[in-house]
Structure 1
Amino acid sequence: MSGTTLLAPLYGLYQKQLGFSDLMITVIFAVYAAGVIAALLLFGRLSDGLGRRPVLLAGLVLAALSAVCFLLEGGLPALFTGRVLSGLSAGLFTGTATVAVVELAPEPRRNAAMLLATVANMGGLGSGPLLAGILAQYAPQPLRLVFFVNLALVAVAVVGVLLIPETVQAGQTVPLRPRRLRVPPAIRSTFVPAAAAGFAGFAMLGLFTSVAPSFLHQVEGVDNLAASGAVVCAVFAASTAGQLLMPAFGVHRALIWGCAVLAAGMAAIIASLATSVLALLVLGAVVSGAGQGLSFRAGVTVVGEQSPPDQRAEVTSALFVVLYVAISIPVVGVGALAVVAGLRSAGLVFSACVALLAGATALRLLLRPAGEAETGAG
């Protein structure tokens, strides 16, 4: 997963080398989400028929091909191709690797295995920008060395996948057609606030993994790529902590508190962009990351609990498509607005919109908790 976020602190270097705008940065980032969504819809059930290991190996091959695209330095076409391949690999990993980890664990340790998968996922996403930032700042060949390191990590992962036992009896035929995206009317009062909370949180993640390094450079005056990578890493680390803390809050309280904390974090980011105070940006990154983690895990949990068992995968897929739309499309708007009004103004507008959405969702959940309509009707 770390390979999917390696570009976060490097966009500025590509921008100088190729001469594209802040809008193009967000478009390059957004095509990654298109790859994830395509993989989730087309290949989400593939490992149930082929087995976990073949799908994981296919994801690793796509990850390696993505790194090769970036090593070729073929301009924008290579960047776009690399990002699409990276998104496809992440889409294959997201469900398959999590299920494989849980299936490989002994029954008494299944919950611990799920937490391990969560930490591995978010930890990988967070370590990518940190690794890329450190190597780009302090090692030679800033746009090449990190992808050689990525290929080495992929090779280690391939060996690991080849060594683990298969947990699925292969042979079942799984049709390669898009999953349906239908939410039953009975759970829409649960799905809508969970999706709104997730949309706000993933839009924030999209901001930090695409244009936050540009904010640090143009607004905060920070040119150190390692620092840029560390700020992005802090968001994912805080998200991991928020997800791990969710059971202590309970699902419904975690959904409300997650939205409220996310709104507070975005307020700190707004203050940072308005005053050019770096400490406020770092504070906002940590606070909003924690809120995103709380609300994300709570939203996925409550939607899974209240979905009909025979439609649970379908509804969960619909939720994840909403989340990956959120991580991509809104930040393209930031890039477009930055061309017209400047990066600072674009960041202020975007952060205010995310804060308003998170705050409104928290208020709605306070007035009517998720799933209340079904309980009353029941």
Structure 2
Amino acid sequence: MRVKASPFFWVSFAMVVGVMGTALISPLYALYQDAWQLKASDISLIYVIYMAGALCGLLFLGRLPDRLGFRPMLRLGLILALLGTLITLAAWDLVSLCAGRFVVGIASSLLTTSATLGLARLVPAHRKPRLAMITSIVMVFGFGLGPLVGGLFGQWVPHPLITTYLPTLVLGSLALAIFLRLELPDDAGQPFQWRDALPRLTWPAPSASFAFILTSCLAFLAFASFGLYASLSPLFLDQLVPWHGPVVSGTAIAAILFGSAFTQILSGRLSTHWGGSLGLVALGVSNLLLMANLWAGSASLFALGVALTAIGHGLSQLAGMNMVGRIATPDTRAGLFSSYLVIGYIGSMVPMMGIGWIADHWGMSAALCTFCTFATLIAVTVALLFQRHPLMQPPRE
């Protein structure tokens, strides 16, 4: 049977479905907490385990699409996404849920790397200049769609801890069936060697070392600020806004992702030193607003905080990627990007575990205040250093 529509469309479809499934669970954390009597640290552990799976996928499987071709790796990613979603759906305790989320994390990295390569190989010639923007939009659309769907199902569909995952299973199975029949060009590269599965991390030359540390702080704070909403927002939003339920946290998470992408599109011409410093200031102010809103309980402050988090996330990510590209040499580019992303992933893991532990012992308000205080101090300090560092300045003509 011949599959209609272009391969470019179906690769985009697979990316959207795959990454959508990874983010479905975020608005449901409060439901899991009520159903299984979980602690805040248990919820943060579920998120950290997912991020650990994504990190392992990036480190150990990130280069396989280049070696074996994007088509088989995309199929493997879809299979792992379906398997992880099935385990998550059938989970009966914390351990089984964490196992499912770890598999989903691996699938997330494998799908994003293989689909990104696939889009680059299949993009029509007239769209090549806009490939990076198209890829970013497709990816963000999938990640943003996940918490929206999860929030809607969690709020209004019966048995949400089961039914929420059905769209991913149906659409993922459809994508897999299509890719088993879809005719694609043979894109396999060099033969696979065991070294291809080893992490490839590099550090810049000593002259650029401090600049890279400052740049990595952008990723660390951006990932940490978003991770706070993606993992624990269902547990504290009741203190901030008059509305309740999974759809509130799902909408907030999606708004940050969509707002971040929109910010990057609009800020493409902003100089790197201003983009990075303004992004850090926005993240710092957003954390101050979050902390203040624990006492104010204002929906307007909450909305402003979410908007600033989105803007700060987008500006920081854009400036960070630009700076890595500027610091790297042709021989260190891939390894330096991997090192930058690893630091970002650590930012979404270590602070979340700390917040969960503090919340268990002293309450969620104390945990949020601790995180927001440290995040603001780091953001302001790095913003000043980043704005003035000579390597961040525009090149002189």
TM-score, scaled relative to structure 2: 0.89
Selected match of 1:16 from 34, 55, 75: 34
Superposed, 1:35-54 pairs within 5 Å as 35-54=53-72
CA distance in 2, matches of 1:286, 1:136: 24
**Does the CA-based 8 Å contact 1:48-1:172 persist in structure 2?**
no
Q: CA deviation at 1:358?
A: 1.7
Q: CA deviation at 1:108?
A: 4.2
In structure 2, the partner of 1:233 is 254
Q: Which piece of structure 1 moves more, 333-342 or 174-183?
A: 174-183
CA distance in 2, matches of 1:364, 1:164: 51
Q: Do structure 1's residue 73 and structure 2's residue 80 form an aligned pair?
A: no
Per-residue Cα deviation, 1:316-366 (whole angstroms, up to 9, x for no partner)? 101111111111110111111111221112112212222222221111122
Partner AA of 1:53 in structure 2: R
Percent of aligned pairs with the same amino acid: 30
**Does the CA-based 8 Å contact 1:238-1:287 persist in structure 2?**
no
CA distance in 2, matches of 1:80, 1:333: 18
Q: CA deviation at 1:102?
A: 2.1
**Does the CA-based 8 Å contact 1:183-1:318 persist in structure 2?**
yes
In structure 2, the partner of 1:90 is 108
In structure 1, the partner of 2:203 is 183
**Does the CA-based 8 Å contact 2:53-2:102 persist in structure 1?**
yes
CA distance in 2, matches of 1:246, 1:302: 15
Superposed, 1:1-378 pairs within 5 Å as 1-159=19-177, 161-162=179-180, 163=182, 165-166=184-185, 168-170=187-189, 172-175=191-194, 176-185=196-205, 186-218=207-239, 220=241, 222-371=243-392
**Does the CA-based 8 Å contact 2:64-2:197 persist in structure 1?**
no
Q: CA deviation at 1:159?
A: 4.4
Name the SS for the 1:247 alignment partner: coil
CA distance in 2, matches of 1:358, 1:182: 25
Per-residue Cα deviation, 1:242-292 (whole angstroms, up to 9, x for no partner)? 221231313332222211222222222222123222321222112111111
Q: CA deviation at 1:311?
A: 1.2
- Count residues with an aligned counterpart: 374
**Does the CA-based 8 Å contact 1:201-1:296 persist in structure 2?**
yes
Name the SS for the 1:87 alignment partner: helix
**Does the CA-based 8 Å contact 1:136-1:143 persist in structure 2?**
yes
Change (3 A) 1:274 1:32: same
CA distance in 1, matches of 2:323, 2:240: 39
**Does the CA-based 8 Å contact 2:276-2:387 persist in structure 1?**
no
Partner AA of 2:350 in structure 1: I
Change (3 A) 1:323 1:166: farther
Change (3 A) 1:300 1:159: farther
Partner AA of 2:202 in structure 1: R
Change (3 A) 1:166 1:30: farther
Partner AA of 2:68 in structure 1: L
Unaligned runs of 5+ in 2: 1-18
Partner AA of 1:178 in structure 2: L
Change (3 A) 1:32 1:253: same
Partner AA of 1:322 in structure 2: I
CA distance in 1, matches of 2:390, 2:285: 21
Q: CA deviation at 1:371?
A: 5.0
Per-residue Cα deviation, 1:6-55 (whole angstroms, up to 9, x for no partner)? 11111111111111101110011101111111111111110111100111
Unaligned runs of 5+ in 1: none
Partner AA of 2:20 in structure 1: S
CA distance in 1, matches of 2:116, 2:219: 19
Q: CA deviation at 1:236?
A: 0.8
CA distance in 2, matches of 1:335, 1:218: 17
Partner AA of 1:228 in structure 2: S
Q: CA deviation at 1:170?
A: 4.6
Partner AA of 2:191 in structure 1: Q
CA distance in 1, matches of 2:336, 2:59: 12
Q: CA deviation at 1:171?
A: 5.4
**Does the CA-based 8 Å contact 1:134-1:225 persist in structure 2?**
yes
- Alignment RMSD, CA only? 2.0
**Does the CA-based 8 Å contact 1:62-1:85 persist in structure 2?**
yes
